[in-house]
A and B are shown apart, each in its own frame.
Chain A
Amino acid sequence: MSDIALSIPQSRVAQPRSATRVLRAIQVTCIFIIALVIVSPLLLLVVASLKDDRFQILADMGSFRAFWVSNPTLSNYAEVGHLSGELAFGRYLINSLIILITTVCSGLIVNSMAGFVLAWGSLKGRAVILAIVIALYVIPQESIIMPLVIMVSRAGMSDTFAVQIVPWVASPLYIFLFYQFFSQLPKELLEAAEIDGASFFRAYRSIFLPLSLPALATVSILMGIETWNQYLWPILVTQTDYARPIAVAIATFFGQDSIYWDRAMAASVLMMIPILGLYLAFQRWFVSSFIGSAVKG
């Protein structure tokens, strides 16, 4: 094959090359079509949220008009965006944002500090703690949720923001991810810092933490998605609107007999925006190899 190809003049080689180019164009188009099909339910959601008539939404669903809105309106968003009232999702959205930001920020601090000590510390029993942390990863949230509900209700923590934040700040998975990331950095960094008189904490804060941007980004995204999408825990520990997150609010609203599809769609779109923003902000550093290394761990 290659011998023949070599003997063909340049101009004739170009022919198959353009053929592969066409093939490639077809391939790329296919990929985009598949991506569109995958995303289409979400497009449908956004389009439907711009229709003011909930009966129209259902009537349109069976045709291509589901993807088209002739007179878009933001009235659904205005309706659900209020901070109080029957269909007010603004309040729940803010509740969720408070929970998200607090959980992720404190999670980044707590888990990265622990991961750093486990990677570079000289405490006795470090290896034991690391082994326990890895073992704890097997316990599913669902398996501890029953006693946890009793514990927090006895402690009078029901229906607060704290009950939705504090239990999920420390996580074996994220400690392990930070541990792995830190231990891949060169040891000389720590030695150099200590020779310069920096304390252990100072070395962590001023040298290692700034270098761990990929790890911070990955944990932010994973933890953010996890926190934002929590459903089982908040329905068990929130009884009133006070600290109820938007996921529970939408589900409750959805379960009613006469579903206001238009409002439900708008609330759902609103719920997607913050987490999409978080993903877009950090995706550059959402290094896939980072999760890949966890596969073998």
Chain B
Amino acid sequence: MVMQQSTSSTAVPVTARRRDKGRLMQEAAMLAPAVILLTVFLIVPFFLSFWTAMTNQPLVPRPTPVRFIWFSNFIRIFKDELFWTALWNVSRFTFWIIPAQCGLAFATALLLHQKLPLRNLLRGMFFLPAITSMVVVCVIWGTLFQYPTGPFNQILGFLSGGAIQPIDWLGDPQWAMFSIVLLSAWQAYGFQMIVYLAGLQGIPDELYDAAKIDGANAFRRFWHVTMPGLRPTHVFVLVITTIQAFKLYTQVAILTQGGPKSSTETVVHYMVRAGFEEQKMGYASAVSVILFVIVLIIALIQRQLLRRFDV
């Protein structure tokens, strides 16, 4: 035994070192594409956005040099009423989309988490909106929202016997954001549904059996087994929904362009307009930095909550 070990310990290092070197080269080569791409297209622009935010960088290069202007952009943003409107709108959107989207996702997940005939077909049907491009969603819902004779108005009129006047879903400042909430919730709940399904699968059956033996009825089982078991899932879903909500853009850009009367103006829409319509890249970058800080704060809150729940 001792002999064998000593011979192998003298023999191994030479070949092992050679092999290790080859292996490390392979590892580096396999890691390199991802590292290079992430550096060039994520890390560099990320730091550049902080730099650009403190300059008067225009979209198209001008003969006058780019000036470093410290925090002027941020000060101008905070003085701009439209920015505050955008931030307020996005908060409003978040406030409505969370119950709508997460509620729908949770409900459908509960429905689907049982032995059902054609379960995969059902799951596919419920997931279908999630794979539909937002642009296509806008085409469909654009027709549904037609004023005054679109399907929604017809249904409302029919159900109320003509008592409810047709609503200008996208053209009325009172309704525009609500309409955006509706179509956004419909489009995106599928992903949250999948996350909830995964969460439900993660709850051990024994817990339900034990609760049944203890005589807990369906409601109590739901309240004392399902809900606590889903705590991390709830936190995750809540956080991704909030972060997604703060990035609201496509629906608004296509359907309302921020209108009517800025009632659907959002932070990202405000940013894109500043950068590409007004050609002020420095200013737009400052908005993007603010957006990042908001997202970061939400993510940090998630970590704290998860740490508290995940014992």
Contact = CB atoms under 8 A, between A and B. Distances in A.
A36 to B, nearest CB: 8
Given A144-B42, A276-B131, A296-B310, A114 B31 contact: yes
Interface string B49-62: 10110000101000
Nearest to A144: B45
A114 B130 CA distance: 28
B194 A291 contact: yes
B146 interface: yes
Contacts of A225: 130-131
Interface residues of A, number: 87
Contact of B154 (A63, A148, A232): A63
A227 B254 CA distance: 19
Nearest to A261: B143
Interface in B221-236: 232-233, 236
Interface string A156-189: 0000000000111110100100000000000000
B163 interface: no
Contacts of A62: 149-151, 153-154
A232 B45 CA distance: 17
B307 to A, nearest CB: 11
Given A61-B151, A114-B35, A264 B139 contact: yes
Given A272-B132, A295-B232, A136 B43 contact: yes
A255 B138 CA distance: 11
Contacts of A34: 108, 111
Contact residues of B: prevailing secondary structure: helix
Contact of A142 (B111, B271, B310): B271
A277 to B, nearest CB: 10
B288 A200 contact: no
Given A62-B149, A225-B131, A271-B133, A150 B37 contact: no
Interface in B113-154: 116-117, 120, 122, 124-136, 138-144, 146, 149-151, 153-154
A117 B27 contact: yes
A186 B139 CA distance: 48
Interface stretch (B6-14, B80-88, B171-179, B289-297): B289-297
A291 B20 CA distance: 34
Contacts of B37: 110, 166-167, 169-170
A269 to B, nearest CB: 8
A58 interface: yes
Nearest to A30: B111
Residue with the greatest number of chain A CB neighbours at <10 A, chosen from B132, B197, B233, B285: B132
Given A61-B143, A139-B46, A147-B285, A199 B34 contact: no
B207 interface: no
Contacts of A276: 128, 131
A231 interface: yes
Given A113-B33, A225-B131, 16 more contacts: A38-B128, A44-B144, A117-B31, A118-B31, A121-B30, A167-B37, A169-B37, A172-B42, A200-B26, A231-B250, A232-B250, A255-B254, A268-B139, A279-B127, A279-B131, A288-B201
26 contacts: A31-B112, A31-B116, A41-B129, A48-B143, A58-B149, A116-B30, A133-B38, A139-B42, A139-B292, A140-B243, A140-B292, A143-B288, A144-B46, A166-B41, A200-B23, A200-B27, A229-B133, A231-B250, A251-B138, A268-B140, A275-B133, A279-B124, A279-B131, A283-B124, A292-B202, A296-B310
